[in-house]
Amino acid sequence: MIRSILLVALLLPALAPAQDLAKATFAAGCFWCTEEAFDKVDGVVATVSGYMDGHLKEPTYPLVSTGGTGHTEAVEVTYDPRKVSYEKLLEAFWVNHDPTFLDRQFCDQGSQYRPGIFTHNAEQQRLAEASKLRWEKDKPFREKILTPIKPASEFWRAEEYHQNYYKKNPARYRFYVTGCGRYARLDELWGKFRGK
Protein backbone atom coordinates (compact mmCIF):
# COMPACT_ATOMS: atom_id res chain seq x y z
CA MET A 1 0.00 0.00 0.00
CA ILE A 2 2.74 2.45 1.00
CA ARG A 3 4.69 1.41 -2.08
CA SER A 4 1.68 2.25 -4.31
CA ILE A 5 1.24 5.66 -2.69
CA LEU A 6 4.93 6.43 -3.18
CA LEU A 7 4.76 5.36 -6.83
CA VAL A 8 1.74 7.62 -7.47
CA ALA A 9 3.49 10.51 -5.69
CA LEU A 10 6.54 10.04 -7.92
CA LEU A 11 4.47 9.89 -11.10
CA LEU A 12 2.25 12.93 -10.37
CA PRO A 13 4.86 15.59 -11.28
CA ALA A 14 5.41 13.88 -14.64
CA LEU A 15 1.67 13.76 -15.33
CA ALA A 16 0.86 17.29 -14.16
CA PRO A 17 2.16 19.21 -17.23
CA ALA A 18 -0.17 17.27 -19.58
CA GLN A 19 -3.14 18.38 -17.49
CA ASP A 20 -2.14 22.01 -18.03
CA LEU A 21 -2.19 21.79 -21.83
CA ALA A 22 -4.95 23.44 -23.86
CA LYS A 23 -6.46 22.98 -27.33
CA ALA A 24 -7.22 25.39 -30.13
CA THR A 25 -8.59 24.60 -33.57
CA PHE A 26 -8.07 26.59 -36.76
CA ALA A 27 -8.84 26.19 -40.45
CA ALA A 28 -6.59 28.09 -42.82
CA GLY A 29 -6.87 26.27 -46.10
CA CYS A 30 -4.68 23.22 -46.71
CA PHE A 31 -4.07 21.55 -43.38
CA TRP A 32 -0.50 20.64 -44.36
CA CYS A 33 0.33 24.36 -44.45
CA THR A 34 -1.65 25.19 -41.31
CA GLU A 35 0.17 22.45 -39.43
CA GLU A 36 3.56 23.81 -40.52
CA ALA A 37 2.65 27.36 -39.46
CA PHE A 38 1.63 26.33 -35.94
CA ASP A 39 4.51 23.90 -35.46
CA LYS A 40 6.80 26.94 -35.69
CA VAL A 41 5.13 28.67 -32.72
CA ASP A 42 7.03 28.26 -29.44
CA GLY A 43 4.79 26.66 -26.85
CA VAL A 44 2.88 24.50 -29.34
CA VAL A 45 3.23 20.90 -28.22
CA ALA A 46 1.46 19.11 -31.08
CA THR A 47 -0.60 19.68 -34.21
CA VAL A 48 -3.03 17.26 -35.84
CA SER A 49 -4.55 17.60 -39.28
CA GLY A 50 -8.22 16.72 -39.54
CA TYR A 51 -11.74 17.67 -40.50
CA MET A 52 -14.30 19.82 -38.69
CA ASP A 53 -17.67 21.48 -39.13
CA GLY A 54 -19.31 18.85 -41.31
CA HIS A 55 -22.36 16.58 -41.17
CA LEU A 56 -20.81 13.17 -41.86
CA LYS A 57 -19.46 10.88 -39.16
CA GLU A 58 -15.92 9.58 -39.68
CA PRO A 59 -15.16 11.54 -42.85
CA THR A 60 -12.31 10.51 -45.13
CA TYR A 61 -10.14 12.65 -47.38
CA PRO A 62 -11.69 11.34 -50.63
CA LEU A 63 -15.16 12.31 -49.33
CA VAL A 64 -14.16 15.67 -47.81
CA SER A 65 -12.22 16.68 -50.93
CA THR A 66 -15.43 16.56 -52.99
CA GLY A 67 -16.86 19.36 -50.84
CA GLY A 68 -19.99 17.33 -50.15
CA THR A 69 -19.53 16.47 -46.46
CA GLY A 70 -19.62 20.03 -45.14
CA HIS A 71 -16.22 19.65 -43.47
CA THR A 72 -13.29 21.98 -43.75
CA GLU A 73 -9.65 20.97 -43.40
CA ALA A 74 -8.63 22.02 -39.89
CA VAL A 75 -5.75 21.66 -37.46
CA GLU A 76 -6.09 20.89 -33.79
CA VAL A 77 -3.32 22.64 -31.87
CA THR A 78 -2.25 21.43 -28.43
CA TYR A 79 -0.32 24.12 -26.61
CA ASP A 80 1.15 25.01 -23.24
CA PRO A 81 -0.57 28.19 -21.96
CA ARG A 82 2.42 28.84 -19.70
CA LYS A 83 4.60 29.27 -22.80
CA VAL A 84 2.22 30.69 -25.40
CA SER A 85 -1.09 32.51 -25.06
CA TYR A 86 -4.20 31.90 -27.09
CA GLU A 87 -3.83 35.50 -28.32
CA LYS A 88 -0.41 34.60 -29.77
CA LEU A 89 -1.93 31.63 -31.57
CA LEU A 90 -4.58 33.94 -33.01
CA GLU A 91 -1.85 36.25 -34.32
CA ALA A 92 -0.17 33.30 -36.03
CA PHE A 93 -3.51 32.24 -37.50
CA TRP A 94 -4.41 35.61 -39.01
CA VAL A 95 -1.12 36.14 -40.85
CA ASN A 96 -1.10 32.57 -42.18
CA HIS A 97 -4.34 32.67 -44.15
CA ASP A 98 -6.27 34.88 -46.55
CA PRO A 99 -9.30 36.19 -44.65
CA THR A 100 -10.79 37.87 -47.72
CA PHE A 101 -12.34 34.65 -49.09
CA LEU A 102 -14.97 32.32 -47.64
CA ASP A 103 -14.60 29.19 -49.78
CA ARG A 104 -11.07 29.46 -51.07
CA GLN A 105 -7.49 29.67 -49.87
CA PHE A 106 -4.89 30.49 -52.50
CA CYS A 107 -5.15 27.92 -55.35
CA ASP A 108 -7.42 25.59 -53.36
CA GLN A 109 -11.10 26.26 -53.99
CA GLY A 110 -14.20 24.84 -52.35
CA SER A 111 -15.90 24.85 -48.96
CA GLN A 112 -13.47 22.20 -47.70
CA TYR A 113 -10.76 24.91 -47.71
CA ARG A 114 -12.79 27.60 -45.97
CA PRO A 115 -11.01 29.34 -43.10
CA GLY A 116 -12.31 29.54 -39.56
CA ILE A 117 -11.56 29.87 -35.89
CA PHE A 118 -13.25 27.11 -33.89
CA THR A 119 -13.45 28.02 -30.22
CA HIS A 120 -13.49 25.55 -27.33
CA ASN A 121 -14.86 27.83 -24.61
CA ALA A 122 -16.30 31.27 -23.92
CA GLU A 123 -12.88 32.81 -23.26
CA GLN A 124 -11.52 31.64 -26.63
CA GLN A 125 -14.66 33.01 -28.30
CA ARG A 126 -14.18 36.39 -26.62
CA LEU A 127 -10.49 36.59 -27.51
CA ALA A 128 -11.10 35.47 -31.11
CA GLU A 129 -13.80 38.10 -31.64
CA ALA A 130 -11.57 40.78 -30.11
CA SER A 131 -8.69 39.81 -32.40
CA LYS A 132 -10.95 39.96 -35.46
CA LEU A 133 -12.14 43.44 -34.47
CA ARG A 134 -8.55 44.53 -34.00
CA TRP A 135 -7.54 43.30 -37.45
CA GLU A 136 -10.58 44.95 -39.01
CA LYS A 137 -9.11 48.20 -37.74
CA ASP A 138 -5.38 47.52 -38.31
CA LYS A 139 -5.35 45.30 -41.40
CA PRO A 140 -2.94 46.41 -44.14
CA PHE A 141 -5.37 45.59 -46.98
CA ARG A 142 -8.71 47.05 -48.10
CA GLU A 143 -10.87 43.97 -48.44
CA LYS A 144 -13.23 42.97 -45.66
CA ILE A 145 -12.29 40.17 -43.25
CA LEU A 146 -14.72 37.30 -43.85
CA THR A 147 -13.24 34.57 -41.64
CA PRO A 148 -15.95 33.16 -39.34
CA ILE A 149 -15.59 32.39 -35.64
CA LYS A 150 -17.75 29.61 -34.25
CA PRO A 151 -17.82 26.97 -31.51
CA ALA A 152 -15.79 23.86 -32.27
CA SER A 153 -17.71 20.78 -33.31
CA GLU A 154 -16.39 17.22 -33.44
CA PHE A 155 -12.87 16.98 -34.81
CA TRP A 156 -11.98 14.01 -36.97
CA ARG A 157 -8.30 13.12 -37.34
CA ALA A 158 -7.18 12.91 -40.97
CA GLU A 159 -5.45 9.89 -42.44
CA GLU A 160 -1.89 9.25 -41.24
CA TYR A 161 -0.28 10.23 -44.55
CA HIS A 162 -1.57 13.80 -44.03
CA GLN A 163 0.04 14.15 -40.60
CA ASN A 164 3.31 16.14 -40.74
CA TYR A 165 3.15 16.02 -44.53
CA TYR A 166 5.52 18.95 -44.88
CA LYS A 167 8.17 17.01 -42.93
CA LYS A 168 7.62 13.65 -44.61
CA ASN A 169 7.52 15.04 -48.17
CA PRO A 170 9.53 18.29 -48.12
CA ALA A 171 10.17 18.51 -51.88
CA ARG A 172 6.53 17.84 -52.84
CA TYR A 173 5.31 20.18 -50.15
CA ARG A 174 7.59 23.01 -51.27
CA PHE A 175 6.47 22.50 -54.89
CA TYR A 176 2.83 22.67 -53.76
CA VAL A 177 3.07 25.84 -51.65
CA THR A 178 5.18 27.64 -54.26
CA GLY A 179 2.93 26.63 -57.14
CA CYS A 180 -0.14 27.55 -55.12
CA GLY A 181 1.21 31.04 -54.45
CA ARG A 182 0.53 30.75 -50.73
CA TYR A 183 3.49 32.69 -49.34
CA ALA A 184 3.45 35.30 -52.10
CA ARG A 185 -0.22 36.06 -51.33
CA LEU A 186 0.38 36.11 -47.57
CA ASP A 187 3.26 38.58 -47.99
CA GLU A 188 1.11 40.70 -50.29
CA LEU A 189 -1.75 40.76 -47.78
CA TRP A 190 0.03 41.06 -44.44
CA GLY A 191 3.38 42.63 -45.35
CA LYS A 192 5.45 43.50 -42.27
CA PHE A 193 3.11 41.56 -39.96
CA ARG A 194 4.39 38.30 -41.47
CA GLY A 195 7.82 38.94 -40.01
CA LYS A 196 6.64 39.05 -36.40
**pLDDT band at residue 18 using 50, 70 and 90 as cut-offs:** low
Are 129 and 139 in contact by the 8 Å Cβ rule? The answer is: no
Q: What is the DSSP letter of 113?
A: G
Q: Got the DSSP string for 70-83?
A: --EEEEEEEE-TTT
> Which residue among the candidates 30, 33, 107, 180 is catalytic per the annotation?
30
| Percent above pLDDT 70 for the chain | 90
Asked if residue 123 has pLDDT above 50, the reply is yes
Are 191 and 90 in contact by the 8 Å Cβ rule? The answer is: no
* Closest C-alpha among 169, 162, 47 to residue 112: 162
CATH architecture type of domain 21-195: 2-Layer Sandwich (3.30)
**pLDDT band at residue 7 using 50, 70 and 90 as cut-offs:** very low
Q: What is the mean pLDDT of residues 116-120?
A: 98
**Burial of 173 per CB tally in 10 Å (0-12, 13-18, 19+):** middle
**pLDDT band at residue 20 using 50, 70 and 90 as cut-offs:** very high
Asked if residue 8 has pLDDT above 70, the reply is no
What sign does the dihedral 90-99-165-191 (CA atoms) show?
negative
Residue 49 sits at φ, ψ, to 5 deg, of: -80, 140
Which segment of 2-6, 45-49, 120-124, 137-141 scores lowest on mean pLDDT? 2-6
Could you read off the pLDDT of 149-169 as tens digits, one per residue? 999 999 999 999 999 999 999
Would residue 30 show up in a list of annotated catalytic residues for this protein? Answer: yes
In the chain, what are the domain boundaries? 21-195
How many residues does this entry show for the chain? 196
Nearest-angstrom CA–CA distance, 60 and 57: 9
pLDDT of residue 105: 97
| Percent above pLDDT 90 for the chain | 88
* Closest C-alpha among 147, 14, 26, 5 to residue 77: 26
**pLDDT band at residue 12 using 50, 70 and 90 as cut-offs:** very low
Asked if residue 92 has pLDDT above 70, the reply is yes
Nearest-angstrom CA–CA distance, 2 and 91: 49
Asked if residue 60 has pLDDT above 90, the reply is yes
Q: Got the DSSP string for 82-97?
A: TTS-HHHHHHHHHTTS
**pLDDT band at residue 195 using 50, 70 and 90 as cut-offs:** confident
